[in-house]
Every structure is written in C-alpha cells, then in structure tokens.
A and B are shown apart, each in its own frame.
Chain A
Amino acid sequence: MMVSLDGYIEGPNKELDWHFVDEEFEIYSKEMLHSVDGILLGRNVYELFAQFWPNAIDSPATAPDPAKPEHHLEAAALLNSLPKYVVSTTLEKPDWNNTYIIGNNIAVNITKLKQQPGKDIALFGGARLINSLIRLDLIDEYRMIVNPVLLGGGIPLFSNENGKIDMKLTGIRKFKSGAVVLKYVPL
C-alpha cells in the first residue's frame, strides 16, 4: 500500500496526487505484479481500477510518462489478465475481465484462495478490507510504500481496533523519489 509518512492512504479530499510514480516505481510495480497470481480488492478500489486499467491496455497516453509507456502497458496487461477477487456484498455484475466476487464468508473464502497452489496474492485495499483481514489474521506480509509527505488528515491505513501486532522487518528499499518500501511479516 502507498501510505504517507503520517499513515494516510488518501488525503482529506481523497487526494492521491502525492503518490510518487516514476519509472523506477513502475518497474517495481510491474515486477510485483509478475510475482502474484491474483489480486484482492475492496469494492471502491475495484471500481477505480476497473474504470482505469481496461482502457490503459492500449493507451500509452495513460502512462505517467507517455514517452516511455512500456512498463505501464505491461502492468496494464497483467492487471487485466490476473484474477481479481472483489470483496463486496453489493457488486452484482462486474464487467472487468477475470473478476470474482466474494460476497460473504470472507474468512472462509480467502482462506480457500490461500490454500490453492500458485503464487502470492496481493491485497490492494481499501482500508476497510485491509483492517478486516488484519483482524482475521489473514495477512502474511505487509509492504508499505512510505511516501515523503505528511498529509495532515485523510483516510488512515490502520484502524485503531486491531489490537497489538508485533512484526519482523524482512526488507527495506529506498526509491530515488524518496519513497521507502518497508516489508514486514506479523509474528
């Protein structure tokens, strides 16, 4: 998850303009997408993605740097083809390719997904789904991309109802943009 130094995933007016997306980050995202077999999302995030990525696939103009769209186009192709699992009780007929709805029994259905053979599954938010999965103890790894900004308000990544969780730091990486990836596994 992209997060500000003060722990928000969106600014007070839903701003996301503080996300640092440069070529180094695009390569990182693309490699991450190659390492997964599926994507787990809440409904709001799913709808944002479903509006954007199907159109991005053959549209270099949607790349952060339209002059160098190749990583963006590769990420778009991956996002469109990978299985997408949306946790929602209201979504009925998703249009986006390879989408599956998890409407109830989140714990059981996500545990089943985890038990299938294959590569890892990436959880892309939003905050409500993330915090439900934290409380269900279903997150095996946390990868926080801390952006160099204090937003001063907005939607916090972590709710204050999860209890205390000790972690082990398993990786750290610095981007030229000033973003830092911190990787943890819960103990």
Chain B
Amino acid sequence: MRKIFLHIIVSLDGYIEGPNGELDWQFIDEEWEEYIHSMLGSIDGMLFGRKAYNSVSGYWPGAPDNPAAAADPSKPQRHIEAAHMMNALPKYVVSTTLKSTDWNNSHIIRDNIVEEIKKLKMQPGKDLAVFAGAGLTASLMEHDLIDEYRLVINPALSGDGKPLFNGSNSQKNLELLDMKQFASGAVMLRYANTVNK
C-alpha cells in the first residue's frame, strides 16, 4: 500500500501562516527548489484542503511561463520543472463546497472522505503528499491516514497565526526517520506514525 505523507512548512512555534496570512518567513533558495523538485518526483498525487488548493491553484498554472518567480531567475529550470509536475500530477481536493475546478487533473472529494482516501492509498503507485492546513490534517490524523509527517521547520517564531496542529488529536507516538538541514536554517524532520508501521 502506498504511503500518505504530510509535507508542510511551519515556523518554530508551529504556525503555517502568520496572523495576517504572512508566509514571509518561508525561505526559497536553489537548495529548496532542488528538494521540492525531488519530492514531487517521488509522488503520484497530492491531497489538499480547499484553502490550500485555492492558493496553490492560483499560482502554479501560470508558473511555467514565469521564470522570474524562481529563487534565481537566471536559473529557473528547477522551478519550471516543478511547475510542470504540479500541473500534471493528480490533485485531490477535500471540500464540500468546491463545485468545479479549472486546474488540470484536479479531483474533488466531497464525501466519504475516509473511504475515498483509503481507496487512493490502495491503488498501486508512488506515495501521496498532503499539502493541508489544520482542518484536513486533523481529520486525516484522527483516522491514522497519515503514515509520515515531514515538517520543514523554518528558523522564526511567527508569534501567532494559523497553527498546523489544532490540539484536537489524541497522543501519537512517532519514530524519527531522518532529518535534513538546509543552508537557509530550515530543518526537515521526517517521522513515521508508529501505529501504521
């Protein structure tokens, strides 16, 4: 069965956004682009909550034609390749309100969320990445549908904002699988959910 992993950037105090939606502590350099590129190469699909989907779907469709958005606009290759992968990969959006989507290869999961996601897991193929905020993350955690947690901790205290974990789940013991330090000061910690091992 393929794995579902949560992949998300957080501040050291656990926020995914500042109080006014700021993401200014997120650090994007070439090393990061290389990392994202290889992460996208390792998956066969992505899961989003509606808000994350809306913000991401506003960006990536136009990104292949926008080398200026790369960390280093004179070397946009990784960024453009990542944009092509984001646009091509299947995208599963968990939402009860979203009616239709324009972004290529998007699929809306409206109900029976747990069953639908379990079905996705049973399909053959590479892993699935979850790019979600507190809401979807909490429901996936409740059903132990997240096999791996990959938290990229950025070197800043956001002070306030939208927390990744909303404090509603029961205790989960994890196993540290590995970690990666970036030159930017970000650290990626990768954990397995011990229940799913």
Q: Is B14 an interface residue (CB 8 A)?
A: yes
- The answer to whether A5 touches B189, judged by C-beta atoms less than 8 angstroms apart, is yes
A160 at the interface (CB under 8 A from B): yes
Give B22's nearest chain A residue, CB to CB.
Answer: A164
Interface: B160 (CB within 8 A): yes
* Contact present for A152 and B175 (CB under 8 Å): no
How many chain-A residues does the 8 Å CB contact rule pick out?
A: 36
Taken residue by residue from 8 to 24, chain A's Cβ proximity to chain B (1 for < 8 Å, 0 otherwise) reads as 00010001001000000
Measured between alpha carbons, how far is A15 from B170 in the docked complex, in Å? 13
7 pairs, CB–CB < 8 Å, chain A vs chain B: A6-B164, A148-B174, A156-B14, A166-B155, A169-B155, A178-B175, A180-B176
Contact B169 A150, beta carbon cutoff 8 Å = yes
**Smallest distance from the beta carbon of B138 to chain A beta carbons, Å?**
9
Count of interface residues, chain B, beta-carbon cutoff 8 Å: 34
Chain A 125-179 residues near chain B, CB threshold 8 A = 134, 142, 144, 146, 148-153, 156-158, 160-169, 172, 174, 178-179
Per-residue CB contact flags for chain A residues 44-69 toward chain B (1 = under 8 Å, else 0) read 00000000000000000000000000
Asked if B23 is at the interface (CB within 8 A of a chain A CB), the reply is: no
Is B165 within 8 A of A7, CB to CB? Answer: yes
B122 at the interface (CB under 8 A from A): no
Residue B98 lies at the interface, judged by CB distance under 8 Å to chain A: no
Complex CA distance for A24 and B65, rounded to whole angstroms? 52
Judge if B13 is at the interface, Cβ distance under 8 Å.
yes
Residues of chain A within 8 A of B159, CB atoms compared: 160-165
Indicate which residue in B14, B156, B171, B179 contacts A165 across the interface (CB closer than 8 Å). Answer: B156
Cβ A149 vs Cβ B165 within 8 A = no
On whether A148 and B171 interact (CB within 8 A), knowing A164-B159, A167-B155, A169-B187, the answer reads: no
User: Quick check: is B12 within 8 A (CB to CB) of the other chain?
Assistant: yes
Please state if B174 and A149 are interface contacts (CB–CB under 8 Å): yes
Tell me the nearest residue of chain B to A174, going by C-beta. Answer: B179
Interface: B58 (CB within 8 A)? no
Task: Assess the A150–B179 pair: CB atoms within 8 A.
Answer: no
A152 touches B174 (CB 8 A): no
Residues of B within 8 A of A165 (CB): 156-157, 159
Report whether A5 and B151 are in contact in the complex, using a CB–CB cutoff of 8 Å.
yes
Option from B151, B155, B157 in Cβ contact (under 8 Å) with A158: B157
Nearest CB on B from A80, distance (A): 33
Interchain nearest-CB distance for A79 vs B (Å): 27
Let me know if B181 is at the binding interface, CB within 8 A.
yes
Chain B 115-165 residues near chain A, CB threshold 8 A: 141, 149, 151, 153, 155-160, 164-165
- The one of A152, A157, A172 in contact with B167, judged by C-beta atoms closer than 8 angstroms, is A152
Q: Check if A148 sits within 8 Å of B12, measured CB to CB.
A: no
Q: A180 touches which one: B149, B157, B189 (CB < 8 A)?
A: B189
B151 cross-chain contacts in A, Cβ below 8 A: 5
Residues from chain B with a CB closer than 8 A to the CB of A164 are: 18, 25, 156-159
B92 at the A interface (CB under 8 A): no
* Residues in A whose Cβ lies below 8 Å from that of B158: 164
Give the docked Cα–Cα distance between A187 and B18 (Å): 18
Can you name the residue of chain A whose Cβ is closest to the Cβ of B158? A164
State the Cβ distance, A18 to closest chain B Cβ, in Å: 7
By the criterion CB–CB under 8 Å, are A152 and B157 in contact?
no
* CB-based nearest A residue for B160: A160
Partner of A152 from B13, B165, B176 at Cβ < 8 Å: B165
